[in-house]
Amino acid sequence: MMRWIMAAVLTLGLAGGAFAQAALTAEQRAEVLQILRQALREDPSILRDALTGMEEAERRERAEAQRAALAQQHAALFQDAADPVKGNPRGDVTIVEFFDARCGYCKQMHPAMEALLARDRNVRVVMKDLPILGPPSVLASRALLAAHRQGRYAALYDALMTLRGEITEPVLRQQAERAGIDWARLRRDMDDPAIQRRIDTNLRLAQALAIEGTPALVIGQSLIPGAVDLPALERLVAEARAGR
């Protein structure tokens, strides 16, 4: 019983000041502190168990907050007609991919995503440009969103994902022309304020979901930070398809 009481007291934030606010006299507080010190000396695992309980409670709170945010942003994630889409536009499972064209982990995941789309013809991938790695990333996102107007988003995206050099305007022109994109039109569209507003919308959405880096995937009711391999992608898609 004493062990349970100790763990509960600590979990409720004794060290953080909750105890100091309790309706106890100075003598009572001193007595309780003495009991706590004695119990910890006799069984130090009490503190470990309490901390574990606090960490688990925080994990549950974060997971609940994440589920609430995903539900609140559902339309922005899955139903924005302005978003570029890869795979099957009518797929029964949608993956939302937040990425930066200069992100090494995004490039690392690209072959796995391509393999998934080749194996599973019923997956829809919504692309969310999230240029967080500096001005060249913004330049790349503007080019990609401008390419979307010519129906060539996927072609330029694939080219940039396999690019190993730095993204500069001459490099973008070279990659765009290789992908069959009208460079003069692309360059004009890149400066359209609507393109920057699109990027800003993605940045706000990522902030609302507490996304801190790229890549980040939303599959079903789950947000997955970081790159994942093909088996993990297939498992996540299967779980989403099963409604889990």
Domain ranges in the chain? 2-62, 75-241
Q: What is the mean pLDDT of residues 79-108?
A: 97
Is residue 156's pLDDT more than 60?
A: yes
Among 65-69, 88-92, 125-129, 224-228, the least confident range: 65-69
**pTM assigned to the model:** 0.76
Rounded-to-10 torsion of CA 182, 184, 190, 191: -160
The reported pLDDT for the residue numbered 2 is 47
Is residue 185's pLDDT more than 90?
A: yes
What is the CATH code for 75-241? Answer: 3.40.30.10
Q: What is the mean pLDDT of residues 198-227?
A: 95
Share of the chain above pLDDT 90, in %: 69
Among 3-7, 40-44, 133-137, 166-170, the least confident range: 3-7
Task: Report how far residue 226's alpha carbon sits from residue 218's, in angstroms, rounded to the nearest whole number.
Answer: 11
The reported pLDDT for the residue numbered 40 is 79
Tokens of 101: 């064209």
Residue showing tokens 């997971």: 63
Answer with the residue of higher pLDDT: 95 or 56: 95
Is residue 15's pLDDT more than 50?
A: no
pLDDT confidence of 59, banded at 50, 70, 90? low
18: left (phi over 0), alpha (psi -120 to 50) or beta: alpha
Q: What is the mean pLDDT of residues 168-197?
A: 97
Q: How many CB atoms lie within 10 A of CB 96?
A: 23
